[in-house]
A and B are shown apart, each in its own frame.
Chain A
Amino acid sequence: MNVIRINLTTGNVSKESLPPEIAHLGGRGLTAQLLNFEVPPQCDPLGPDNKLIFAPGLLTATKLVNTGRISIGGKSPLTGGIKESNAGGTMADSLAKLGVAALVLEGAMPQGEPVLIRLDSQGEIEIIPAPELSGRRTYGLVEELLGKYGPDNSVLCIGPAGEAILPISSIQISDTESRPCRAAARGGLGAVMGAKGVKAIVVEQAGKDQPPVVDAAAFTQAAKEFAKALTSHPFSGKALPALGTMALVGPVNSMGGFPSYNATKGTLEGWEEISGESFAKTMAARGGRNGHRGCSRCVIRCSNEFVDQEGEFVTASLEYETAWSLGGMTGVADMDIIAQADRLCDEIGLDTMSAGVAIAVAMDAGAAQFGDGPMVLALLEEIEQGTTLGKILGQGPAAVGRYYGHDRVPVVKNQSIAAYDPRALPGNGVTYATSPMGADHTSGSLVGLYMAGVLKTAQESQSHIDASLTAQIATAALDCTGLCLFALGASNTPEGSKALCQAISAKLGRDFGPEDLKSLGKEVLNLEKEFNAKAGLTPDQDRLPRFFYEEPLPPNNYVVKITDQEMRKALDF
């Protein structure tokens, strides 16, 4: 497997073998390694010294199912620290089949002029001037690029928000049906790509080189066992195929942990209208789809296709976090508005979560009324248009709070929290506060433990802290493999854990057990913590906003009780 480097300042392209000492690192681990040793931690994230790294997982494009995740890494213009943003779609598979362990963008186009990068089936690379693509929304852009290069290509691109270097901009990735609806959304890496002058990367899907596996027979057997564990697990085998992530709307609202109206309430009035169950019923009536396969080699099929009342496609895939940020936080319990807003974010290239929370903070500050769905759509359009308010919203929730002098801003290290209020799910709050990524649900979500009654809101702090640490370590390891986060449940079963470790053993040609998986997770977290420390992020920034301690969350009126001092020590291991 190779590391391909494209220096945009000089136009040089180079290829080197992945050094053996880091051959066990893929995905998030590889981006953390390369960033930590190659990027000056105090550099301007939008300057030429930053690098943007695209890394499939260690097991991507092998026979192991659900390994189609790509890790995109760089120094974040939103948090000021290290960032790994992880997405599905088809790009990881296409790169891995070409033998690419990491594609590294270095430098920047001298005048910022937009270019297109093309990798063909032989792995040949071209940097193509593309001024005509400037300002284009993503759906039309991808359709045009596939018309030119053929349908059997994966596309990764930015929208107008990335070109405008907004720190809540995303990188959009084409799904199995060539729609740019899969997003590496968090941390503003779209702005890093925009600052480098790269509008899109097009990769031919025809690569034939399967990533090497040392013991093919053992790998095949392990892959079969893992697939069985995945499809027989109630979460990945039943709940997700039936309702997707939207299935979480019901339980989290019922627990009073769904941050709504800019986190002033724990339940959205009318949440039943946007629940997974309502979604499934409505899509069945309109001709939309649940149980859709959006990513390469996926057997879970958690994706969906939302259609309007006339049966016309609007967006894919509508996710729980988006229903929360653009619905719960803004007080809009209207599935059609949320779907339109999701499509707009994908078109403009925006993180739906940060965009929704930025709008919610503005609403809370009096700029608009909660529940005004058309206003949500109008404000997203303003971000694209670059009006004064649009520019402020595009800087993210913390900037909106500063502009309005409003201090109820649910962010950590400038990045918005996710759809689990830390007052009701304190362990998720520990993850928000302490993850090297800033507030991030994918770094260690504990909702399953709260739903199972294993964790209780009122338990002592250490239970939540221990659970968060365990989850953060497990997730960091999983993010190295290319496996989808939704495989985490199955990989924690005895059968799943054994099969996953056997697969990694067969891939690397050496024994690899559950303790090695933990060590891998710790290795990655240590790399990330080290980068952040050198970048100037200190443990003092591992804290939740004060209002989570001071404002009880209706209906159960919990507040966070885990102290700043406890948070600071949470990731000590």
Chain B
Amino acid sequence: MKVSVKLYGALEDEVPGYDNQEGLLLDLPEGARVLDLLARLELPEGVCSIDSSGRVLRAQDKLSGDASLKIFRIMSGG
């Protein structure tokens, strides 16, 4: 399944070749979870994945086909 991802919070610098305009389109196996996606991107701990409906996903949550995620660094306040 295809999952589109956009990175924020200077996470862009953590993924070589990331394109700020286009984001990423990843091909993941059916049943893949958020943690699989994060592992694929080799992102550090302390990130937050939000789907297009505004839902914050947990690492164990399964991804749906055609999911569109925004990934941020977790902020403690400001």
Interface residues of A (CB under 8 A from B): 234-235, 238-240, 242-245, 247-248, 250-251, 254-256, 266, 275-277, 280, 302, 319-321, 424, 441-442, 445, 447-448, 450-453, 456, 485-486, 488-489, 555-556
Assess the A243–B10 pair: CB atoms within 8 A: yes
A486 and B76 CA atoms in complex are apart in Å by 7
How many residues on B have C-beta within 8 angstroms of the other chain's C-beta atoms?
23
Minimal Cβ-Cβ distance residue in B for A450:
B56
* 22 sampled A-B residue pairs with Cβ under 8 A: A235-B46, A235-B73, A238-B73, A247-B9, A247-B10, A251-B8, A251-B48, A254-B54, A255-B50, A255-B54, A256-B54, A277-B20, A442-B77, A447-B76, A447-B77, A451-B72, A456-B56, A488-B76, A488-B77, A489-B76, A556-B53, A556-B54
Which residues in A have their C-beta under 8 angstroms from that of B62?
none
A452 and B59 CA atoms in complex are apart in Å by 10
B45 on interface, CB distance cutoff 8 Å: yes
A68 and B78 CA atoms in complex are apart in Å by 17
Q: How far is the CB of B12 from the nearest CB of chain A, in Å?
A: 8
A243 and B57 CA atoms in complex are apart in Å by 23
With contacts A235-B73, A239-B73, A251-B75 taken as known, whether A452 is within 8 angstroms of B48 at the C-beta atoms is yes
A124 and B78 CA atoms in complex are apart in Å by 37
A528 and B10 CA atoms in complex are apart in Å by 39
One of A245, A254, A280 near B70 (C-beta < 8 A):
A254
**Majority SS at the chain A contact face:** helix
Which residues in B have their C-beta under 8 angstroms from that of A456?
56
B44 on interface, CB distance cutoff 8 Å: yes
Q: How far is the CB of B59 from the nearest CB of chain A, in Å?
A: 8
A-B contact count (CB 8 A): 106
Minimal Cβ-Cβ distance residue in B for A456:
B56
**Majority SS at the chain B contact face:** loop
Assess the A247–B56 pair: CB atoms within 8 A: no
Which residues in A have their C-beta under 8 angstroms from that of B67?
none
Assess the A248–B78 pair: CB atoms within 8 A: yes
Q: How far is the CB of A291 from the nearest CB of chain B, in Å?
A: 11
A238 and B9 CA atoms in complex are apart in Å by 9
Q: How far is the CB of B30 from the nearest CB of chain A, in Å?
A: 23
B74 on interface, CB distance cutoff 8 Å: yes
Interface string of B11-48 (1 = CB under 8 A from A): 01000000010000000000000000000000011101
Assess the A239–B77 pair: CB atoms within 8 A: no
Assess the A277–B8 pair: CB atoms within 8 A: yes
Which residues in B have their C-beta under 8 angstroms from that of A275?
8
A-B pairs with lowest CB-CB distance, top 6: A245-B78, A445-B77, A242-B10, A234-B46, A451-B48, A256-B54
Which residues in B have their C-beta under 8 angstroms from that of A320?
78
Which residues in B have their C-beta under 8 angstroms from that of A277?
8-9, 12, 20
Most buried by A among B9, B12, B50: B9
Assess the B74–A452 pair: CB atoms within 8 A: yes
Q: How far is the CB of A30 from the nearest CB of chain B, in Å?
A: 23
Which residues in A have their C-beta under 8 angstroms from that of B53?
555-556
A238 and B48 CA atoms in complex are apart in Å by 14
Which residues in A have their C-beta under 8 angstroms from that of B20?
277
Assess the B56–A239 pair: CB atoms within 8 A: no
With contacts A235-B73, A254-B72, A451-B72 taken as known, whether A319 is within 8 angstroms of B48 at the C-beta atoms is no
Which residues in A have their C-beta under 8 angstroms from that of B77?
441-442, 445, 447-448, 485-486, 488
